[in-house]
Every structure is written in structure tokens, then in C-alpha cells.
Amino acid sequence: MDISASIEEKHFNDAKNAVTKLIEKIASFTVTPNYEIVFFSSEVFEVVRILDFLDKKITLKAVLTELENFKIGEKNTGTDLNSVFTTFLERMAIIKQQVGEERFKEHRHVLIFFTDGAYNMGGSPAPTVEQIKNMVYMNQTGPQSNQSREEYLDIYIFAIGAEVFDSDLQPLATGIGDRHYYKMKDITNLQETFDDIIDEEEVKGLCGLHKDYETQNGNKRQRYPWWASITIKNQGLPRDCLGSLVTTKFVLTAAHCFTFEDLPKHVKVVIDDGQGKEKKIKTFKIHPQYNISAKVNKGVKEFYDYDVALIQLEEDVNISSAARPICIPCTQETSDALKLVGESTCKQQEDILLKTHLESLSFLTKKGITVHEKDVKAKIGDNRDDCIKHALEAPGIQTNDPKEVVTDNFLCTGGQEPTVDHISCKGDSGGAVYKNYEHRTIQVALVSWGTKDLCGSGGGVVNSDRTSRDFHINLFRVVPFLKSILGDDTLDYAPLTFLKS
């Protein structure tokens, strides 16, 4: 990052924030790159040394701390852009010497510069860039080579500043494709550009990845790439529910979306994965303990315990940034997303995801052809009893014990204290109740039932009143059912890896 006199402090701070977000984004992919971070003017300030990674002297947390703490001191009058490239060349040479040539061949090198390209010291960096290329390419580049190594080096230039020297900067950018040189008027939000840089193929198998912003055309598919629309048409009016893609072949939803007479041919699942929106259904499976009439004799007309079902699709969903599974509890995939090392447990995951007695969660509602996000606070621990008591006010409830209606398998949301929650509407049933954890989305529950219909016919984002409540099946409480199907490695689909405890 350029800190010479020609770079305004605003550009410096914006670049620093952009790099922080990029490092955090990469960390969410469960990969662990080594970093070298330098600021330069007439001299180079090594804030984070890549050699410290080889010696295991630094952690990712320390990298972000060092980056945050670096401040511009007195401005240097000169700018030596070549010295930065020379620093990188020297560090790469040391790495090659330490790891040996064969292991060095496996290293991928990504250099990202924020500069206006103006330099008055050190000469042109072009010859140094050629040396870097020669070190990485090993004379194996171009169409005539059977072992082209161009993909092992990317040099990205983000041109910033009041006056940019394009002719000097553009030739320094290199790599496969033409997206390596960016002229930036505003770098406050580079997330979309960084997502373009990142190779989707390398990370598409990871659950819970999503874009943290809406794309320019307003399509929310990439922000919530796991959401599915479900319609069941058998007898009478069609029933609409939401669901979540939990593997390439399974959609998780609520059991009460189905009736005893429904068959797979009556179920329509829509997931826009670029290969046809409507998905053919192979079968669906309802939790064996779900029984809506189980407590009629106890004054509970409709009992929604174990209100969970899985829909199996005929074919795998085409995974991309627009269609990708959400993470679910008690799987190794979720432990990776939470950065839990070693042999992790369900309890560890639950302690992270549902750690407070007022846990911020979200779920979706469909309005028209798009979805909108609703925000709630799950009342846990000491707050739970005061929340679930309002279940007694729901139609068809004639018991005085709220725990007969709302078992420990439910999370409770709604009301206006300490904040006004959103409330579920008809059609929200089965949708994921989730939280975002460092760029990964993890589902902790699914929308089951509520005490009041405050939405009217339009649905959408609606506020709770003082006593309205929603109850969501806590996925941590139905893991055996999920594991029996999604973790079965004897069938013709890729299973999830469930934790031992």
C-alpha cells in the first residue's frame, strides 16, 4: 500500500480496510495463506513478514492487529515502487531456498498493490517484475508449454489517487485473464471486486458462503444462495413453504407443510441454480416423531414438536455463487466454518451460535418473486419462560402449561422487548432460522409455527406485537434425524460428515 505524499489519507484508510475485509473473507474459506503486508514511500515498512509464517511466529489475528495498528508517520518526499517488488522477490527467493524447489512449485503467489504508480526513486519496477515471473514460471509459460505455470502468479494493481500513471502501472499487472488492473475512484467497498478475483471453483464446495451485498441487478439469490421455494398441490389450495438447501440433493423444511396424502409428484421445489428453476422430487421424509395430533387429549389441538422434514431431489443442484448449501449443526463442515480445530463437538458449536440469552437470528419471507430478511432475538435461558408462556394464547390451546405446547426442541422469538422482533407470516414455514458467522451462514433452526397471524394476505416483513410469538425447531435437537439421512454413506449421494458427539 502506497503511503507517499501523492496518496491522500482517505485512500490509505480505505485501502487498509479493504485489505482487512479481504483477509477475513479468505479466512472464511478455511484456507490459511501466508501474508506479507508492506507500506511504502521512499522506503518499505514491513508490517507483516511472510517469513514469520514459515517460522510459525505469527497468527492471522496478529496480522489483522498489526494492519489495524499501522499509522502513517511523517510523509516521505520520495516514492520507490521498485523497492516493493524487490522486497517481494527477495522474500520469494528465501522461501524457495527454505522449502526446496519441488515444494516451491506448489506455491501460488498473489501480489496486490494499491498505488497511483508515481515513482521518483529506484527506477522502473518492470525488470523486477520479469525476475518474479521467471522465478515462478520456471520458463514454462505460453501456449507451447505443456506445463504452463502462469496460474501460479497473479499481480493485481488497484490504481488509486488523484492522478494515476496508467502507462507505468498496467504492464505490471499479470495473470490468467484480463481482470488484474483496476482503476478505482472509490475503494470503500471492494467486496464485489474481490469476489470476482476469487476463483469460485476453488471454494464452491463450502457450505454457507454467500455475498454480503446485493448484486447490481438487485438479485438476492447470491446473498441467500441456499433458499428454496416449496409449493405442495394435492387437494384444495396449494400450500407454500420455504426451505433451505443443506446438500446438493436435499432441502430441509417443516413437516407440517405436508399432509398424509401427499406424494413426491405433488411437491414443487424451486431453486434457481442456472440449470432450470424447478427441481424434480425423488422423495421426502418426515421426522418419525412428528405427530400433530399427539396431545389433543391434553388440550393441544395442533402439536408441532419434531416439525422437520427433508426433501430429496432427483438430481444434484448445480453449485455456484447463486445456489449453495447452508451449514447445519453438528457437522464437520460447520466446525470448519466456525474455525474449530481438532475433534470438535456439537456443544462447542452450540456455545458459539446460541451463546447469549438474547441471540440475534434471521429468517426469510417471500414476497412476490423475491425474498426479504427478518430479524429476531431468540429468548434463551432465563428469558425463555417469559417468551413461551404466550403460546397459551394461540388458538386451539386449552392447557395451562406452556411446556406442554412448546418443548425444549423449540427456540422462541417475537414480542417487543428488548427490541421489536419481526414475526413470521404464512408461507415462511420451513425456512431457515440462521446467523452469519464471519462470511458463512449457519442454520440453527427452522420456522415452525406462531401464535398470531399479523401479516394479512400480503405477507412480507411485519413487526411483532407485544404478545405475538414464533416457535422454531432447534436443529441441535433433531440431529439424529438429520444424521440418519444426510450422514448415510451407503446411498447414492454425497453424505455430510456428522460429529461423533
Which runs of E-coded beta strand occur in 88-206?
A: 109-115, 153-159, 181-183
Residue 148 annotated to the active site: no
CB 56 within 8 A of CB 62: no
Which secondary structure element, helix H or strand E, spans residue 251, and what is its range?
strand 250-253
Compute the half-sphere exposure of residue 198: CA atoms within 13 Å on the CB side of its CA: 23
Which of these is catalytic: 307, 336, 428, 470? 307
- Return the C-alpha torsion angle 71, 73, 75, 76, nearest 10: -110
Which secondary structure element, helix H or strand E, spans residue 440, and what is its range?
strand 440-450
Question: d(Cα 245, Cα 486) in Å, to the nearest integer?
Answer: 12
CB 11 within 8 A of CB 161: yes
Count CB-CB contacts under 10 A for residue 81. Answer: 28
Amino acid of residue 277 = K
- Burial group, residue 382, by CB count within 10 angstroms (0-12, 13-18, 19+): exposed
Question: d(Cα 109, Cα 92) in Å, to the nearest integer?
Answer: 9
Contacts of 201 (CB under 8 A, 6+ apart): none
Helix (H, G, I), strand (E, B) or coil at 195: helix
Question: d(Cα 496, Cα 419) in Å, to the nearest integer?
Answer: 36
Per residue in 199-213, is it b (16+ CB within 10 Å) or e — as a string? Answer: eeeebeebbbbbbee
Residue with cell 405475538: 468
For residue 245, what are the β-bridge partners?
A: 251
Residue 256 annotated to the active site: yes
CB 328 within 8 A of CB 493: no
Mode of pairing for the β-strands spanning 44-48 and 109-115? unpaired
Which of these is catalytic: 180, 256, 422, 439? 256
Residue 429 annotated to the active site: yes
Which of these is catalytic: 6, 424, 429, 468? 429
Question: d(Cα 188, Cα 240) in Å, to the nearest integer?
Answer: 40
For residue 235, what are the β-bridge partners?
A: none
Q: Please provide residue 215's backbone torsions phi and psi, each rounded to the nearest 5 degrees.
A: -70, 165
Q: Please provide residue 274's backbone torsions phi and psi, each rounded to the nearest 5 degrees.
A: 85, -5
- Burial group, residue 461, by CB count within 10 angstroms (0-12, 13-18, 19+): middle
Catalytic residue numbers?
256, 307, 429
